[in-house]
Amino acid sequence: MRKDIKEILINEVTLQRRIDELGVEITKDYEGKNPLIICVLKGAVLFMADLVQRIDTTLEMDFMAISSYGDSTKTSGQVRILKDLEKSVENRDILIVEDIVDSGLTLAYIINLLRERNANSIKVCTLLEKPARRVAQVKMDYIGFEVPDEFVVGYGLDYAERYRNLPYIGILKEEIYNT
Ligand code: PRP
Ligand code: MN
Ligand code: MG
């Protein structure tokens, strides 16, 4: 699989070190609030798993599956719910956990939905953000890393469902998606 990767952009140690820092920050901000932490499947699953272990306060977790990319490298612009939350968000302090904010359409859709469902507060924690392709302006409260306008995979991020299991963030070789 490594042969499909042009370059490792963020290695395992750097990723984990940054997640330690985010955990400390989030712990401080949510002390005593019992936040509902929402993982946006599938991309955010590895980040979520590592992040919550570093948040040292009472919390609850829920999962939502959203898809806009399918097997393409470009967003379809159509956001679909594949699996909804199990918990009510009414009056809850919500922290949305994402792997990447690219066009921002996925996040804008989720934030809008949670607002309509009367969440008490909504914050966003994203591991990566790619400012180059932003369409919807969304406020991100915790950001791991800013990434360049390249197709990145690994640590949850896929291309056609593959590469999610890489422990690092890598740039995919163009020849993999240009065939
Ligand atoms: C990817 C990624 C984010 C979203 C970001 O999800 O995990 O959720 O796209 O893109 P945007 O800012 O342009 O909306 P995808 O739809 O590929 O589903 P997945 O998480 O299951 O891979
Ligand atoms: Mn996703
Ligand atoms: Mg995807």
Neighbours of 109 (CB within 10 A): 18
Query: For residue range 49-103, what is the model confidence (pLDDT) as tens digits?
Result: 999 999 999 999 999 999 887 667 777 778 889 999 999 999 999 999 999 999 9
Q: Examine the predicted complex and report whether its ipTM is higher than 0.95.
A: yes
**Cα 120 from Cα 141, distance rounded (Å):** 16
Question: Tokens at residue 78, please?
Answer: 């159509």
- Three-class DSSP category at 122: strand
Query: What's the pTM value of the predicted model, to 2 decimals?
Result: 0.96
Report, as an integer, the average pLDDT of 105-110: 96
Question: Which protein residue has the closest C-alpha to ligand 1 atom 18?
Answer: 67
Question: Which protein residue has the closest C-alpha to ligand 1 atom 17?
Answer: 69
Question: Tokens at residue 179, please?
Answer: 């065939």
The answer to whether residues 107 and 97 touch, using CB atoms and an 8 Å cutoff, is no
- Choice between 169 and 68, residue whose per-residue pLDDT is larger: 169
Closest among 8, 44, 20, 32 to 125, alpha carbons compared:
44
Q: Is 68 in the pocket of ligand 1 (CB under 6 A)?
A: yes
Ligand nearest to the CA of 160: 3
Query: For residue range 170-179, what is the model confidence (pLDDT) as tens digits?
Result: 999 999 998 7
The answer to whether residues 124 and 140 touch, using CB atoms and an 8 Å cutoff, is yes
Q: Is 134 in the pocket of ligand 1 (CB under 6 A)?
A: no
Tell me if residue 102 is catalytic. Answer: yes
Catalytic residue selected from 50, 102, 141, 158: 102
- For each of the domains in the chain, give its residue range(s) and CATH number, in order of start: 12-150 (3.40.50.2020)
Report percent pLDDT > 90 for the chain: 89
Question: Tokens at residue 34, please?
Answer: 């019992």
Question: Which protein residue has the closest C-alpha to ligand 1 atom 3?
Answer: 100
* 34 C-alpha to ligand 3 centroid (Å): 29
